[in-house]
Amino acid sequence: MGPYRAAALSFLLLTAPSLAQAPGWHYSPLPGEGDRATLGCDRDSTPNDYACLAVRCEDDYSVGVHVHTSRHPDDLGTWETTLDRENKQVVAEPSEAPYGGRIVEEADWLLQGLRHGTFVYLRHADDEGGGFRFIDLTGSLFAINAALAWCAPRVPAGAEPNDASGVDAANSKENDNGSSPAGTQ
């Protein structure tokens, strides 16, 4: 490998983590996430100072909403949110995902707002003196739907959910040997 290729490869490897904190909505480039999650990060995000909300297809095909911030590993606990002028507190709990914490209570309200809202302000309850982080929800519906497309349960090969075991061929209106008689369609 030439010196230019090696330099380009190391540049890409070093800048990849910063993509995870880019402002706006995008797929999650965190290790192991692939297309199963999307991140919405605040408008002032930098690689060292960021606040993001992640919507993720969990291993059991449920939908998870996670907090991912530069406070990590202190992302757990109570978060104050303002979602389209509605204030609520949500609690981030430990999870196996590569994010700071998973929102369990009020997760449906938050997911609905992230999909169809216009903005969300986010601040950890311990940061009372600090400002809220502004996350623009432009493009969030598309990004969330793209990530959750992978959440549909998989049907094992050969397991047809509607088998023909209860169908009587004599009562079928289909004629396997040609077109159907006139007036039956």
Distance CA 37, CA 145 (A): 10
Give residue-wise pLDDT tens across range 67-90.
999 987 788 999 999 999 999 999
Which domains does the chain carry?
A: 20-151 (2.60.40)
Candidates 56, 46, 53, 49; CA nearest to 23 is: 46
- C-alpha dist (Å) from residue 93 to 66, 81, 106: 9, 16, 12
Torsion of CA 64, 103, 31, 52, to 10 degrees: 110
pLDDT tens-place string over residues 1-35: 455 444 443 433 333 444 557 888 998 989 888 78
Give the confidence band of 66 by pLDDT, cuts at 50, 70, 90. very high
